[in-house]
Amino acid sequence: MDITEPSSSASQDAGPRDLDPRDWDAARAQAHRMLDDILDHVQHIREGPVWQPIPDEVRAAFDAPLPWEASDLADVHDEFKRLILPHAAGNPHPRFMGWVNGGGNVAGILADMLAAGLNANLGGRDHIPVDVEKQVIRWMAALFGFPEGSSGLFVTGTSLANMIAVLAARADALGQESRVEGVGDSGLVAYASTSAHSCIAKALDMAGLGSGSLRLIPVDGAGRIRTDALEQAIAGDRAAGLKPFLIVGTAGSVDIGAIDDLGALADIAQRDRLWLHVDGAFGALGKLSEELAPLFAGIERAQSIAFDFHKWGQAPYDAGFVLMRDEAKHRAAFATAAPYLQRHARGLAAGQPWLCDYGPDLSRGFRALKVWFAFKTYGAAAMGEAIANTCHVAQALARRVDEEPELERLAPVALNIVCFRYLGPDPDRLNAEIVTVLQESGLAAPSTTVLDGRLAIRAAIVNHRTRIEDIEILVRAVLRLGRDLSRSGVSA
Ligand SMILES: *Cc1c(COP(=O)(O)O)cnc(C)c1O
């Protein structure tokens, strides 16, 4: 039915003000300057400090009253350039090696801008942005060897993706009634290794099962869960009348990058009818690399996988993701009915099931676009090579550490994380000080971890921009600081 009206010319500047620019030409020119500035920043990121200590007056600028009056966009942008840009954490910098942070990418910057222009809400309804997210879900299902019809969802990060998996496993174990009646005294228990990320225990806590329902199983010398100990723990809990329901395997542990034997975990899960979830926050996208893919054997047998595009995937924050083998179980754990969210066969309210049926969020941004853009722009092969390259750089760092008599490596390098320390008096305090001074110098930013009670300098090579010359700068700086600080007696 054609009910269109003849198009009217642009409305005149009258009536109440909307928030659009009064002078579109000026706004456009300013927009181009802002785009150029941020691209300059990324292009020349290597030349500046990784991070710098934040002056009091900069921080004080963010304790201002709510601005009721307007300012020029250009002035606000100047403030951004002066106060915010130089004082960001610096994870796009090639010598940011702390924690597990991705470096971002240019396709993602631009896609995020386009996504903001569309202002799409991917909670539901019938529009192609939803199909873009579903496209990425199908790509990931194929990558990880999941069946056709698997479901998935973009979320903030792996913390929430793990939580979604825990909730799906919980609903599967206790039945749909539990969504109405609550979990009560369920007796459910879950298993992960002592190297599992702290967000797993937090997810069980938030799921109402208590973080105490997570059994932390010891690891072997390579940091992988000990499957013999896992089997014993499951048998012991069953004998005690408890209900084992979930094994969380880790594919890339935060401390040293260890990957659990996922095939063995799948065997145990299958035999004991437990849900196998894999926390592959940073590691799982190693599947994109031909060289690394074999390390993840068995991941295709999991019920669910959580990972982050914002780590090894190099997407701008944030872009967490959960993949689920069984779409019906996934939806059964989250779908709800509300009259104003009714679905129809045609019109804008069509296209069900909606993505809000697969997680806690109703309104959802278009995170999928930056990932879709990156895969298409760079190609999955190049993204996999960038990931493999971080492992090569880490291996070079490990060799460099092994060559230096003043340095000691503290863990095997499974993937891209190197833990080491400077050998000197009071090594825990010395190495903590080395890391702090290094960060303050802006030269490089590793972080620390504790392995077997020993404080380690932890360099996680996650950023696609990091090269061998960057690890050389890191090693030389650690040696210089180690010598200076041991001489001046940091422990005094
Ligand atoms: C980073 C990380 C998480 C948490 O992911 P977020 O995206 O920060 O929420 C969980 N598990 C592992 C192994 C991680 O490396």
Of all atoms in ligand 1, which is nearest to the CA of residue 196? Answer: 13
191 and 337 together in one domain: yes
**For ligand 1, what atom is nearest to the CA of residue 280?**
13
Rounding to the nearest 10 degrees, give the CA dihedral for residues 262, 266, 268, 271.
-170
Q: Which domain holds residue 193?
A: 120-378
Q: Are 344 and 317 in a shared domain?
A: yes
Q: Which of 193, 282, 309 to mutate to test the pocket of ligand 1 (most atoms within 8 A of CB)?
A: 282
Closest residue CA from atom 5 of ligand 1: 158
Nearest-atom index, ligand 1, CA of 159: 9
Q: What is the CATH number for 389?
A: 3.90.1150.170
Q: Determine the atom of ligand 1 nearest the C-alpha atom of 252.
A: 13
What is the residue type of 349? A
Q: Name the residue of 159, 299, 305 to mutate for ligand 1: max ligand atoms within 8 A of Cβ.
A: 159
- Count of domains forming the chain: 2
Does residue 427 sit in the same domain as residue 479?
A: yes
- Residue 294 preceded by cis peptide, ω within 30: no
Domain end, chosen from 378, 403, 438, is at 378
265 and 395 co-located in one domain: no
Residues enclosing ligand 1, CB less than 6 A? 100, 157-159, 197, 199, 250, 252, 254, 279, 281-282, 308, 320
How many Å lie between the centroid of ligand 1 and the Cα of residue 363? 23
- Asked if residue 421 and residue 355 are part of one domain, the reply reads no
Please check whether residues 456 and 483 belong to one and the same domain.
yes
> 407-409 and 320-324: which strand pairing?
unpaired
Same-domain status, 316 and 351: yes
Residue 65 counted as domain residue: no
Question: Is residue 58 one of the residues assigned to a domain?
Answer: no
Q: Are residues 343 and 402 in the same domain?
A: no
Residue nearest to atom 14 of ligand 1 (CA): 281
Kindly report the CATH number assigned to the domain that includes residue 148: 3.40.640.10
Closest CA to 130 of 343, 333, 380: 343
CA of 277 to the centre of ligand 1 (A): 14
486 and 343: one domain?
no
Substitution candidate for ligand 1 out of 154, 248, 254 with most atoms within 8 A of CB: 254
Instruction: Please tell me the residue having the least CA distance from ligand 1 atom 7.
Output: 157
User: Which numbered atom of ligand 1 lies nearest the CA of 197?
Assistant: 11
Ligand 1 pocket test target in 163, 308, 461, 462 with most atoms within 8 Å of CB: 308
Residue 492 pLDDT: 43
Same domain for 387 and 308, yes or no, is: no
SS3 sequence of the chain:
CCCCCCCCCCCCCCCCCCCCCCCHHHHHHHHHHHHHHHHHHHHCHHHCCCCCCCCHHHHHCCCCCCCCCCCCHHHHHHHHHHHHHHHCCCCCCCCEECCCCCCCCHHHHHHHHHHHHHCCCCCCCCCHHHHHHHHHHHHHHHHCCCCCCCEEEEECCHHHHHHHHHHHHHHHHHCCHHHHHCCCCCCEEEEEECCCCHHHHHHHHHCCCCHHHEEEECECCCCCECHHHHHHHHHHHHHCCCEEEEEEEEECCCCCCCECCHHHHHHHHHHHCCEEEEECCCCHHHHHCCCCHHHHCCHHHCCEEEEECCCCCCCCCCCEEEEECCHHHHHHCCCCCCHHHCCCCCCCCCCCCCHHHHCCCCCCCCHHHHHHHHHHHHCHHHHHHHHHHHHHHHHHHHHHHHHCCCEEECCCCCCCEEEEEECCCCHHHHHHHHHHHHHHHCCCEEEEEEECCEEEEEEECCCCCCCHHHHHHHHHHHHHHHHHHHHHCCCC
Residue 208 domain-assigned (yes or no): yes
Same domain, 402 and 360: no
For residue 139, report the distance from its CA to the centre of ligand 1, in Å.
Answer: 21
Amino acid 9: pLDDT: 54
CA of 75 to the centre of ligand 1 (A): 37
Taking the centre of ligand 1 as the mean of its atom positions, its distance from the CA of residue 307, in whole angstroms, is 8
CA distances from 47 to 42, 53, 93, 489 (A): 10, 17, 9, 32
Q: Is residue 76 part of a domain?
A: no
- Is residue 450 assigned to a domain? yes
Distance 134 CA to ligand 1 centre (A): 23
Domain boundary among 344, 362, 378: 378
Mean pLDDT of successive 10-residue segments in the chain (492 residues)?
68 74 97 98 97 97 97 97 96 96 97 98 96 98 98 98 98 95 96 98 98 98 97 98 98 95 98 98 97 98 98 98 98 87 86 93 98 98 98 98 98 95 97 98 97 96 98 98 89 46
Do 226 and 338 share a domain, yes or no?
A: yes
Q: How far is the CA of 159 from the centre of ligand 1 (A)?
A: 6
Amino acid at 80: F
For a mutational test of ligand 1's pocket, the pick from 91, 100, 164, 166, i.e. the residue with the most ligand atoms closer than 8 A to its C-beta, is 100
Does residue 399 sit within a domain? yes
250 within domain boundaries: yes
Closest by CA position to 461, among listed 418, 402, 410, 408: 418
Ligand 1: distance of its center to the CA of 306 in Å? 9
**Considering 378, 398, 424, which residue would you say is the last residue of a domain?**
378
Q: Per the domain annotation, does 308 fall within a domain?
A: yes
- Find the 281 Cα to ligand 1 centroid distance in Å: 5
